[in-house]
Chain A
Amino acid sequence: MPANDHYVIIGNGPAGNHAASTLRDKDKDAKITIVSDEAIPFYYKPRLTRYILDEIDAKDLMVKQLSSYSDSGIRLRLGQPVDRIDPDSKTVFLHHKEEIHYTKLIIATGSRARVLPTMRSYSDCLKFISSYDQVMEYKDDIKQAKRFFIFGGDLVAFTFVRLLSKMNKQVSLLIYPNAFWPFNLNEEMEAAIAQSLKGLSVDLLVKDDIKAIAESGNGYRVRTTKGKELNVDMVFSFNGLIPSVEFARGCGLDIDHGILVSETMQTNIPDIYACGSCAQIYNPDINTYTTSIGWPNAVAQGEVAAMNLLGDHKVIESAGRKYFDLEGVKVKTTWWEDIEERA
Chain B
Amino acid sequence: MKDINIVIEICGSAGEGTISAGEILSRFMSSQGYEIMSFDSYPAEIRGFGKCVAHTRISSSVINSPGKLADVLIALNDGHSISQLSALKKGGILIYDSQPAKPHEEDKSVLGWADPSVVSYGVPLAMLAQKAAGNLRGRNMVALGAIAALFDLDREGFTDSIKARYAKKKQIVIDSNVNSFLEGFDWTKDHIEKKDTFTFDGVSLEPRGEKLIINGNQLVAQAALDADLKFYAGYPITPATKIMEILSKELPGYGGTLLQTEDEISAIGAVVGAGYGGIRAMTATSGPGFALMTEFTGLSVMAEVPAVIVDSQRGGPSTGIPTKTEQSDFNAALYSGTGDCPRVVLAPTDTASCYDATVLGLYLAEKYQTLVVILLDFFLSNSIRNIDTPKKPGPQMLNANVNPTEEDLKDYKRYKFTDDGISPRAIPGTPGGISFYTGLEHDERGRPDYSDKGHLAMSEKRYRKHASVLKEAPAPVISDFDGDRADIGVISWGSSAGAAHEAVATAKKEGINAASFSSVMLYPFPDEALIEFAGRCDNILIPELNFQGQFADYAQGVIKREVTRLNFITGRPMAAEDILDKMREM
CB atoms of A and B under 8 A apart anywhere in the complex? yes
A49 to chain B, nearest CB (A): 22
Select which of B99, B111, B116, B117 is within 8 A of A98 by beta carbon: B111
Interface string of B64-98 (1 = CB under 8 A from A): 00000000000000000000000000000000101
Q: Is B495 an interface residue (CB 8 A)?
A: no
Q: Which of B91-125 contact A (CB under 8 A)?
A: 96, 98-100, 103-109, 111-112, 114, 116-117, 120, 122
Chain A, Cβ-Cβ closest to B124: A97
B79 to chain A, nearest CB (A): 12
**Contact at B116–A96, with CB atoms within 8 Å?**
no
Interface string of A98-109 (1 = CB under 8 A from B): 111100000000
Q: Is A145 an interface residue (CB 8 A)?
A: no
* Contact partners of A98 in chain B: CB under 8 A: 103-109, 111-112
**Contact at B106–A96, with CB atoms within 8 Å?**
no
Q: Which of A36-69 contact B (CB under 8 A)?
A: 39-41, 66
Select which of A41, A78, A99 is within 8 A of B104 by beta carbon: A99
Select which of A41, A93, A99 is within 8 A of B116 by beta carbon: A41
Q: Bound complex: CA of A94 vs CA of B110, how far in Å?
A: 12
* Contact partners of A24 in chain B: CB under 8 A: none
* Contact partners of A40 in chain B: CB under 8 A: 116
A4 to chain B, nearest CB (A): 13
Q: Which of B560-580 contact A (CB under 8 A)?
A: none
Chain A, Cβ-Cβ closest to B99: A97
Q: Which of A69-109 contact B (CB under 8 A)?
A: 77-80, 93-94, 96-101
Q: Which of A79, A80, A97, A98 has the most CB of B within 10 A?
A: A97
Q: Bound complex: CA of A101 vs CA of B108, how far in Å?
A: 12
B4 to chain A, nearest CB (A): 25
Chain B, Cβ-Cβ closest to A41: B116
Known: A96-B96, A96-B98, A96-B122. A77 touches B103 (CB 8 A): no
* Contact partners of B100 in chain A: CB under 8 A: 97
**Contact at B111–A80, with CB atoms within 8 Å?**
yes
* Contact partners of B96 in chain A: CB under 8 A: 96
**Contact at B116–A79, with CB atoms within 8 Å?**
yes
Q: Bound complex: CA of A236 vs CA of B20, how far in Å?
A: 51
Q: Which of A108-149 contact B (CB under 8 A)?
A: none
Q: Bound complex: CA of A41 vs CA of B115, how far in Å?
A: 11
Chain B interface main SS type: loop
**Contact at B106–A97, with CB atoms within 8 Å?**
no
A310 to chain B, nearest CB (A): 22
Chain B, Cβ-Cβ closest to A76: B116
Q: Bound complex: CA of A1 vs CA of B109, how far in Å?
A: 17
Interface size class of A (residues with CB under 8 A): 10 to 19
A181 to chain B, nearest CB (A): 30
Chain A, Cβ-Cβ closest to B114: A79
Known: A80-B112, A98-B109. A93 touches B117 (CB 8 A): no
Q: Bound complex: CA of A28 vs CA of B96, how far in Å?
A: 34
Q: Bound complex: CA of A40 vs CA of B120, how far in Å?
A: 14
**Contact at B98–A97, with CB atoms within 8 Å?**
yes
A327 to chain B, nearest CB (A): 30
**Contact at B117–A96, with CB atoms within 8 Å?**
no
**Contact at B117–A97, with CB atoms within 8 Å?**
no
Chain B, Cβ-Cβ closest to A96: B111
**Contact at A97–B116, with CB atoms within 8 Å?**
no
Chain B, Cβ-Cβ closest to A6: B106
* Contact partners of B122 in chain A: CB under 8 A: 96
**Contact at B103–A97, with CB atoms within 8 Å?**
yes
Q: Which of A66, A96, A98 has the most CB of B within 10 A?
A: A96
Q: Bound complex: CA of A94 vs CA of B107, how far in Å?
A: 11
Select which of A39, A41, A80, A99 is within 8 A of B103 by beta carbon: A99
* Contact partners of A99 in chain B: CB under 8 A: 103-106
Q: Which of B104, B109, B116, B120 has the most CB of A within 10 A?
A: B116
**Contact at B112–A96, with CB atoms within 8 Å?**
yes
Chain A, Cβ-Cβ closest to B100: A97
Q: Bound complex: CA of A99 vs CA of B102, how far in Å?
A: 10
A62 to chain B, nearest CB (A): 12
Q: Which of B376-400 contact A (CB under 8 A)?
A: none
Known: A77-B112, A80-B112, A98-B109. A93 touches B103 (CB 8 A): yes
Known: A96-B96, A97-B103. A39 touches B109 (CB 8 A): no
Select which of A2, A39, A80 is within 8 A of B117 by beta carbon: A39
Chain A, Cβ-Cβ closest to B113: A77
**Contact at A79–B120, with CB atoms within 8 Å?**
yes
* Contact partners of A2 in chain B: CB under 8 A: 106
Chain B, Cβ-Cβ closest to A99: B103
Q: Which of A314-329 contact B (CB under 8 A)?
A: none
B337 to chain A, nearest CB (A): 50
B77 to chain A, nearest CB (A): 14
A63 to chain B, nearest CB (A): 15
Q: Which of B42-75 contact A (CB under 8 A)?
A: none
* Contact partners of B120 in chain A: CB under 8 A: 79
Chain A, Cβ-Cβ closest to B120: A79
Chain B, Cβ-Cβ closest to A39: B116
* Contact partners of B108 in chain A: CB under 8 A: 98
**Contact at B98–A78, with CB atoms within 8 Å?**
no
**Contact at A94–B116, with CB atoms within 8 Å?**
no
* Contact partners of A97 in chain B: CB under 8 A: 98-100, 103-104, 109
Select which of B105, B107, B109 is within 8 A of A96 by beta carbon: B109
Chain B, Cβ-Cβ closest to A40: B116
Q: Bound complex: CA of A41 vs CA of B104, how far in Å?
A: 24
Q: Bound complex: CA of A132 vs CA of B197, how far in Å?
A: 19
Chain A, Cβ-Cβ closest to B108: A98
* Contact partners of B111 in chain A: CB under 8 A: 80, 96, 98
**Contact at A94–B117, with CB atoms within 8 Å?**
no
Q: Bound complex: CA of A98 vs CA of B96, how far in Å?
A: 12
Chain A, Cβ-Cβ closest to B97: A97
Q: Bound complex: CA of A100 vs CA of B103, how far in Å?
A: 10
* Contact partners of A101 in chain B: CB under 8 A: 106
A175 to chain B, nearest CB (A): 35
Q: Bound complex: CA of A2 vs CA of B112, how far in Å?
A: 17
Interface string of B338-349 (1 = CB under 8 A from A): 000000000000
Q: Bound complex: CA of A78 vs CA of B114, how far in Å?
A: 9
**Contact at A78–B116, with CB atoms within 8 Å?**
yes
B505 to chain A, nearest CB (A): 34
**What are some 18 contacts across the A-B interface (CB < 8 A)?**
A2-B106, A39-B116, A39-B117, A40-B116, A66-B116, A78-B116, A79-B114, A93-B103, A94-B109, A96-B96, A96-B104, A96-B112, A97-B99, A97-B103, A97-B109, A98-B104, A98-B108, A99-B103
Top 8 closest pairs, chain A to chain B, by CB = A98-B109, A78-B116, A39-B116, A98-B104, A96-B111, A97-B103, A100-B106, A99-B103
Using a CB–CB distance below 8 Å, which chain B residues touch chain A? 96, 98-100, 103-109, 111-112, 114, 116-117, 120, 122
14 further interface pairs, Cβ-Cβ under 8 Å (given A39-B117, A96-B96):
A2-B106, A39-B116, A40-B116, A66-B116, A79-B116, A79-B120, A94-B109, A96-B111, A97-B98, A97-B109, A98-B106, A98-B111, A98-B112, A99-B105
